[in-house]
């Protein structure tokens, strides 16, 4: 399963209070799963016979006891009610979107999209969730550093391409220069300092296009 969301979660179990960095994945559950990373961080000791976890945080010892059969039953009942409520809300939402598509009404939010009536509910909800990724104008500067950065490495012993530049008319050159100047001004691109850089924008492809 691909993880594309993370969140810092504050939680408390009795007197024990803490916050952890969690991966967010779709599950048919309403629980916080304290897995091996948390057990490693707090150096938790598990008693297999009593199924208890004990650990020390800031000089204070905590013991997590397992749920009683009654607590397990109540927890299952609450989880089932929440799941049924969520399913009812999703069904009502889907029906309302269907009526919206039939009536032909349009909705607009910050100029991101003019209508969602022709899109499936799963697509429209996805676009609404990530609408901040599609601003009307690109922000200045490069994106912030992420937790995982990627790079493209050169292949060893590869011949550097040396091909004639693409011939452009003055209008195309002027437009290309305008776009490059705009990108430089916003900080989205920088002048290349690589000795392998080819100082052209467009070059012919292998197929001649």
Residues 56 and 84 in one domain: no
Which of 85, 111, 131 lies at the terminal end of a domain, its last residue? 131
The number of domains in the chain is 2
- How buried is 116 (Cβ within 10 angstroms: 0-12 exposed, 13-18 middle, 19+ buried)? buried
Residues 44 and 91 in one domain: no
Question: What is the tens place of the pLDDT at every residue in 91-113?
Answer: 887 777 666 555 554 444 444 45
Residue 16 lies in a domain: yes
Residue 28 lies in a domain: yes
Neighbouring residues of 24: CB distance < 8 A, sequence distance ≥ 6: 3, 5, 6, 7
Helices (H), the chain: 36-42, 69-103, 121-129, 170-186
Residue 200 lies in a domain: no
pLDDT at 164: 67
Helix, strand or coil, per DSSP, at residue 60: strand
Q: Output the pTM of the full model.
A: 0.35
Higher pLDDT: 137 or 165? It is: 137
Q: Which of 98-107, 141-150, 168-177, 191-200 has the lowest mean pLDDT?
A: 98-107
Residue 148 lies in a domain: no
Question: What is the tens place of the pLDDT at every residue in 78-95?
Answer: 888 888 888 888 888 777
Mean pLDDT of 154-162: 76
Neighbouring residues of 202: CB distance < 8 A, sequence distance ≥ 6: 165, 166, 168, 176
pLDDT at 108: 41
Which of 81, 106, 131 lies at the terminal end of a domain, its last residue? 131
117: closest CA among 130, 129, 131, 99?
99
What's the angle, vertex CA 23, arms to CA 18 and CA 25, rounded to 5?
125
**Which residue range is the domain that position 60 belongs to?**
6-64
Residue 185 lies in a domain: no
Residue 43 lies in a domain: yes
Residues 54 and 84 in one domain: no
pLDDT at 54: 92
């Amino acid at each position: 399963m691909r993880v594309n969301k993370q969140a810092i979660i504050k939680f408390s179990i009795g007197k024990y209070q803490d916050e952890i960095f969690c991966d967010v994945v779709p599950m048919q559950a309403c629980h916080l799963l304290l897995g091996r990373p948390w057990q490693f961080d707090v150096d938790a000791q598990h008693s297999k016979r009593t199924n208890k976890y004990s650990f020390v945080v800031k000089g204070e010892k905590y013991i997590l006891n397992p749920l009683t059969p009654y607590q397990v039953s109540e927890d299952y009942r609450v989880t089932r009610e929440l799941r049924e409520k969520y399913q009812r809300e999703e069904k009502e939402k889907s029906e309302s979107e269907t009526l919206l598509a039939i009536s032909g009404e349009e909705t607009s939010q910050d100029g991101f999209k003019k209508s969602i009536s022709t899109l499936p509910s799963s697509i429209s909800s996805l676009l609404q969730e990530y609408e901040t990724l599609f601003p009307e104008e690109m922000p200045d500067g490069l994106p912030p550093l992420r937790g995982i950065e990627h790079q493209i490495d050169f292949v060893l012993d590869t011949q550097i391409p040396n091909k004639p530049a693409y011939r452009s008319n003055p209008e195309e050159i002027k437009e290309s220069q305008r776009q490059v100047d705009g990108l430089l001004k916003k900080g989205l691109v920088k002048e290349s300092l690589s000795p392998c850089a080819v100082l052209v924008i467009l070059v012919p492809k292998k197929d001649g296009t």
